[in-house]
Chain A
Amino acid sequence: MHGFHGQLLHIDLTSGKSSWREIEESRLRAYLGGIGLGTSLLYEYAPPGVDPFAPENPLIFASAPLVGTGLTTTAKFAVVTKSPLTGFIADSLSSSHFALELKRIGVDALVITGKAAVPAYILINNDQVEIRNAEALRGKSPNETESTIRAELNLPALRVAAIGQAGENLVRFATISNEGRQAGRGGVGAVMGSKSLKAIALCGAREISVADPAAVDAIANRLRRQSLGSLTDKYRSIGTVANLAVFNRLGTLPTQNFQQSTFDDAEALSGESLTVNNFSRRHGCAACTIQCERLFKALNGEEQRLEYETLFALGPLCGINDPQVVLQAAQLCDLYGLDTISTGGTLSWAMECSEKGLLPEATELRFGAADALLAAIPLIAQRIGVGARLAEGSRRAALALGYGSDYWAMHVKGLELPGYEPRSLKTMALGLAVSPRGACHNRSGAYEADFSGEVDRLKSDSGRGAIVAASEDFAAVLDSMIVCKFLRKCFNDFYLEGAELVSKVTGWDCSSDELKRIGERIHNLKKLFNQREGWRAQDDWLPERLLQETLPTGVAQGVGLSPDELRGMIASYYQARGWDENGLISAKKLEELGLPDA
């Protein structure tokens, strides 16, 4: 077998036992790796209806066929589990050297179940698996955890993924961190914390073979050249923070908990201003030529990584206009291991509650109140005071508070919305509503149609369903091969070239049609998992604010999104997917895709 090792490692923290198991080639061909393989294993290992914090909920780290081949942007891995935030699938991606090391330990996936009796970390050194005491790591940040473990073990090639205090304290939007990068969304860090697992340290020496090294090299060289051209100029020159000023001007920048789609002080937070005034260093993942990461100078003298989603969520969404405050808030989130989008989304909900007089324990939380924002983040991570309420995420916090505050809890399926205003991006609105992992901008790129002129972004129509479905399938393939989405435009015909790439790496004769079908299968399996876990049609919906209020400012002033418009787009989506009118996967579709019977 090429491109894969053909086995997984299952570690049960309750018993302390580990075992290797073959992964059938047919499964790898059906789901590739990454999110696809992780979803397939989740469906198998998670008992139906399992509590996300129960020991039986598997935490799966999945590698992919392109990892370790030298192809640019492919040093990535997936973390898949049942989300404590949504109750549905959580599928996160992270990247860099930990991804390469995961492949080097000789497995395609790591499945962790059970719960350690005392705080623990896992050391995997090639074939040796050791569960070690992590008592001394308790309370440490992911970075401190990594450096402590490295100092303790003295293995030069060691790579570590860890949780911070937020994960230890089961904050439902805690991340898993490695090398400053995050498996960020859906609370995968909290699931790790529920297993009393502080970190995973990897050290391996297994090389991966590819079927046709010369052909893979040729493709790698071509993609490397393409990745240095104008198609990635934004990412290489400014990074994703470039979105903020554009989104503001286009009326798509969520501001003050989605009360507006423009921010008066956007100029101060723009990627252009940050680049001129605060830029420190450009960085990137291992084996990546794009190097989109931007580190900015914070007032405390440290460098802080910032990307658009963090900038939007801790800036305009909370009414914060000082880039230094955003940098400080991002530092805190990284220190404690918190998803910045859900942190900003939950805090902006709390700010609105507080302004309405509904949150007496945190009256200082107001839009634009920098000190209150910075003070609240550690409270969330440690579940202290109002932090205990907010650590549950906006959906649960709103249900617990009452007073109709769920009206302004801006989430889908419990996952807080990313920085794309749905009312002025109608295709994206549909993408957010139907995404299996909740309000997510990464498991489909539905906004791309809105930003390309392919559709009228301010209006809805029955063509959006097919656009969103195609975008989801495309993302599923990218996330399972794995190729970074920032490389996506460097392919002339992605499915054709992607199939060739898979073929040259694995030795399979993979066609573009097969690759498309794989994407569709993966997406349907995510949905099937959600159906098994209790998905109902009302879960595919948007927060009521978006359906009741029109946008008050900017070029999209007066634009809204009616329930009927959303309903119509959702119907077109179910139709495009070949599901029934209630959004359930039909038996025919299951059979067609070779999926288990629902």
Chain B
Amino acid sequence: MGQPKALLPFAGEPLIVHLVRRLEQLFTDTVVVAAPEQELPALPSAIVRDDVAYQGPVGGIYYGLNAAREEICFVTSCDAPFLNPRLIAFLMAQITDYDVVVPFTDERYQPLHAVYRKSVAPLLKTQLERNELRPIFLYDKVRTRKISENEMLPLDPDGLSFLNMNSPEDYQAAQARWSAASIPVTVELFGVAQLLAKTKEVALTLAPDGTLAQVFQQLAELHPVLLGRVIDADGNHLVSGYACNLNGLAFVKDFRTQVQPGDKIFILSADAGG
């Protein structure tokens, strides 16, 4: 590929940044596991380095779980640009009586798009000590929920979640696919937001399954003056006193609401009195 995958430009930013941003829609904490000397851009994540390089997925999963603060963790590789929040939320919801939730597609497990309990970390450590570098050894030892393609079909009909980039051709194809599937939306700013940003409209391009949270994040990046005053410091919400309306019709409070191509998103005062 000519450079580390994590740093490949994708959707206008390094691929690792792109991934972390999408994960932030679902998770409050993210952990990035990197090789000892690997260069990384600034990230809002905890960074851990492999003690021993080249231990494959088991090593990455182990070091990540070890550093995680949450009991339930979603694990992904850094070259899966089409992470699907709806599918990930579904996988997370299946963990109740299991230790691992892992998709099974194309006749194989997808260990790097799976959910793990932090409690399996000691077993992974033992595997590393025995040089058992295939995650499947773990699945035989713990309560594993295997997710079939049929279960995932409604949430990810094209299976884009498992699309990795292992060659320059894969990379180019992924970029083209991303551009074609991206969602153009327009944000219309009213009142204080308009005066602060000094503009009435902002055109944005969102990820294929873009949500209002992404709208607010992108808007805050383009107009940081809105952070704290109109958009909450976390970048995901509007502060109290502000409201969001879709296309002049529906007032929407859930920032996980998905937007559609061509949507007009109004940001206005929540108080219509006067």
**A contacts with B: majority SS:** helix
Tell me the minimal C-beta distance from A527 to chain B in angstroms. 24
Enumerate chain B residues within 8 angstroms of A448, measured Cβ to Cβ.
272-273
Q: Are A453 and B251 in contact (CB under 8 A)?
A: yes
Interface 0/1 of B244-274, CB less than 8 Å to A: 0101111111000000000000101111111
Q: Are A250 and B245 in contact (CB under 8 A)?
A: yes
Confirm or deny: A508 has a beta carbon within 8 angstroms of a beta carbon on chain B.
no
Q: Are A233 and B245 in contact (CB under 8 A)?
A: no
Q: Are A452 and B251 in contact (CB under 8 A)?
A: yes
Enumerate chain B residues within 8 angstroms of A453, measured Cβ to Cβ.
243, 250-253
> With A and B bound together, what is the CA distance between A272 and B190 in angstroms?
8
> With A and B bound together, what is the CA distance between A409 and B267 in angstroms?
34
> With A and B bound together, what is the CA distance between A239 and B250 in angstroms?
24
Confirm or deny: A307 has a beta carbon within 8 angstroms of a beta carbon on chain B.
yes
> With A and B bound together, what is the CA distance between A251 and B247 in angstroms?
11
Q: Are B229 and A230 in contact (CB under 8 A)?
A: yes
Task: Identify the closest chain B residue to A425 (Cβ).
Answer: B272
Q: Are B248 and A309 in contact (CB under 8 A)?
A: no
Q: Which segment of A54-62, A123-131, A241-249 sits at the interface?
A: A241-249
Confirm or deny: B192 has a beta carbon within 8 angstroms of a beta carbon on chain A.
yes
Known contacts: A453-B252, A555-B248. The answer to whether A240 contacts B274 by CB under 8 A is yes
Q: How large is the interface on B (under 10, 10 to 19, 20 to 34, 35 or more residues)?
A: 20 to 34
Q: Are B241 and A447 in contact (CB under 8 A)?
A: no
Enumerate chain B residues within 8 angstroms of A488, measured Cβ to Cβ.
273
Q: Are A249 and B251 in contact (CB under 8 A)?
A: no
> With A and B bound together, what is the CA distance between A448 and B188 in angstroms?
21
Enumerate chain A residues within 8 angstroms of B273, measured Cβ to Cβ.
240, 445, 448, 485-486, 488
Interface 0/1 of A186-213, CB less than 8 Å to B: 0000000000000000000000000000
Interface 0/1 of B209-247, CB less than 8 Å to A: 000000000000000000001000000000111110101
> With A and B bound together, what is the CA distance between A20 and B274 in angstroms?
37
Confirm or deny: A40 has a beta carbon within 8 angstroms of a beta carbon on chain B.
no
Q: Residue A489 contacts which of B195, B241, B249 (CB distance < 8 angstroms)? A: B241
Q: Are A231 and B252 in contact (CB under 8 A)?
A: no
Q: Are A237 and B191 in contact (CB under 8 A)?
A: yes
Confirm or deny: A271 has a beta carbon within 8 angstroms of a beta carbon on chain B.
yes
Q: How large is the interface on A (under 10, 10 to 19, 20 to 34, 35 or more residues)?
A: 35 or more
Instruction: Please report which residues of chain A, range 442-492, place their CB below 8 angstroms from some CB of chain B when the two chains form the complex.
Output: 445, 447-448, 451-453, 458, 485-486, 488-489
Tell me the minimal C-beta distance from A66 to chain B in angstroms. 19
Q: Are A275 and B195 in contact (CB under 8 A)?
A: yes
Q: Residue A231 contacts which of B190, B191, B240 (CB distance < 8 angstroms)? A: B240
Enumerate chain A residues within 8 angstroms of B77, measured Cβ to Cβ.
none
Task: Identify the closest chain B residue to A242 (Cβ).
Answer: B191
Q: Residue B191 contacts which of A271, A445, A447, A451 (CB distance < 8 angstroms)? A: A271
Task: Identify the closest chain B residue to A447 (Cβ).
Answer: B272
**B contacts with A: majority SS:** loop
Known contacts: A230-B241, A246-B268, A445-B273. The answer to whether A237 contacts B248 by CB under 8 A is no
Enumerate chain A residues within 8 angstroms of B241, measured Cβ to Cβ.
229-234, 489
Known contacts: A230-B242, A246-B269, A452-B243. The answer to whether A307 contacts B191 by CB under 8 A is no
Q: Are A555 and B249 in contact (CB under 8 A)?
A: yes
Tell me the minimal C-beta distance from A418 to chain B in angstroms. 10
Known contacts: A234-B192, A234-B269, A271-B191. The answer to whether A307 contacts B248 by CB under 8 A is no
> With A and B bound together, what is the CA distance between A452 and B251 in angstroms?
6
Quick one: which of B241, B247, B253 has the most chain A CB within 10 A? B241
Interface 0/1 of A263-293, CB less than 8 Å to B: 0000000011001100000000000000000
Confirm or deny: B205 has a beta carbon within 8 angstroms of a beta carbon on chain A.
no
Enumerate chain B residues within 8 angstroms of A485, measured Cβ to Cβ.
273
Q: Are B272 and A238 in contact (CB under 8 A)?
A: no
Known contacts: A233-B241, A249-B188. The answer to whether A309 contacts B274 by CB under 8 A is yes
Confirm or deny: A495 has a beta carbon within 8 angstroms of a beta carbon on chain B.
no
Q: Are A451 and B272 in contact (CB under 8 A)?
A: yes
Q: Are A452 and B192 in contact (CB under 8 A)?
A: no
Q: Residue A451 contacts which of B190, B200, B251, B252 (CB distance < 8 angstroms)? A: B251
Tell me the minimal C-beta distance from A49 to chain B in angstroms. 35
Known contacts: A231-B240, A231-B241. The answer to whether A452 contacts B191 by CB under 8 A is no
Enumerate chain A residues within 8 angstroms of B161, measured Cβ to Cβ.
none
Confirm or deny: B164 has a beta carbon within 8 angstroms of a beta carbon on chain A.
no
Enumerate chain A residues within 8 angstroms of B269, measured Cβ to Cβ.
233-234, 242, 246
Q: Residue A233 contacts which of B190, B192, B251 (CB distance < 8 angstroms)? A: B192
Confirm or deny: B182 has a beta carbon within 8 angstroms of a beta carbon on chain A.
no
Interface 0/1 of B98-129, CB less than 8 Å to A: 00000000000000000000000000000000
Q: List 8 A-B contacts (CB under 8 A).
A: A230-B241, A234-B241, A237-B191, A271-B191, A272-B194, A272-B195, A451-B243, A489-B241
Among all A-B residue pairs, the 5 with the closest Cβ atoms = A240-B274, A453-B251, A555-B248, A234-B269, A230-B241
Q: Which residues of B contact A (CB under 8 A)?
A: 188, 190-192, 194-195, 200, 229, 239-243, 245, 247-253, 266, 268-274
Q: Which residues of A contact B (CB under 8 A)?
A: 229-235, 237-243, 245-247, 249-251, 271-272, 275-276, 307-309, 445, 447-448, 451-453, 458, 485-486, 488-489, 554-556
Known interface pairs A246-B191, A453-B243, A453-B252; 18 further A-B residue pairs with C-beta atoms within 8 A, sorted by A's residue number: A230-B240, A230-B241, A233-B241, A234-B192, A234-B269, A237-B191, A238-B195, A239-B274, A246-B268, A246-B272, A247-B272, A249-B266, A276-B195, A445-B273, A448-B272, A452-B251, A453-B251, A489-B241
